Amino acid sequence: MYEIQKDSHTPVNVFAGEFPVVTEAGDVKSGATVRKYAPVIKTAEGISEATSAGMADLHGIAADDSTDGGVVCYLSGEFFADALTLPDGVTVEALKPAFRKLGIYLK
């Protein structure tokens, strides 16, 4: 008569410590899509996902998927590296020193 629904949820723990977290909202580059927990760069055209060539413009980590042309980014904090959504060609090893300069620490 009644069926019990079985849903599952796999939480992702992205925060790795108590270091203060600072966020900022910004506009996404026209035509770009930013995925949740992806490292992002910020240029004059807007925010987009990081590339291996764009480490000099590294801005932070996307807090959520881009919607309506905007995205909120984490600018500081401690994060688990395995929780990040890495774009093609971007490695955690390359991100660690670049993020350290911004006050973002990967564990």
Q: What is the pLDDT of residue 85?
A: 93
Largest Cα–Cα separation, the chain? 61
Give domain status of residue 1, yes or no: no
In a domain, 45, yes or no: yes
Inside any domain, residue 84: yes
Instruction: Note whether 26 and 70 are within 8 A (CB).
Output: yes
Sign of CA dihedral 98, 99, 101, 105: negative
Whether 30 is in a domain gets the answer: yes
Amino acid 1: pLDDT: 67
Contacts with 2 (C-beta within 8 Å, 6 or more apart), sequence order: none
Domain count, the chain: 1
Whether residue 15 lies inside any domain: the answer is no
Task: Assess if residue 94 is contained within a domain.
Answer: yes
pLDDT by residue for the chain (107 residues), tens only, comes to 678 888 887 777 899 988 999 999 999 999 999 999 999 999 999 999 998 887 888 999 999 999 888 999 999 999 999 999 998 888 999 899 999 999 999 99
Give the distance, in angstroms, between the CA of residue 37 and the centroid of all CA atoms in the same chain: 3
CATH number of domain containing 79:
2.40.300.10
Do the Cβ atoms of 15 and 77 come closer than 8 Å?
yes
- Distance (Å, rounded) from C-alpha 103 to C-alpha 60? 9
* Structure confidence at residue 52 (pLDDT): 84
State the Cα–Cα distance between residues 42 and 97, nearest whole angstrom.
18
Please count the other Cβ atoms lying within 10 Å of the Cβ belonging to residue 19.
Answer: 14
For residue 16, is it within any domain?
no
Is 69 a member of any domain?
yes
pLDDT of residue 63: 95
Owning domain of residue 38? 22-106
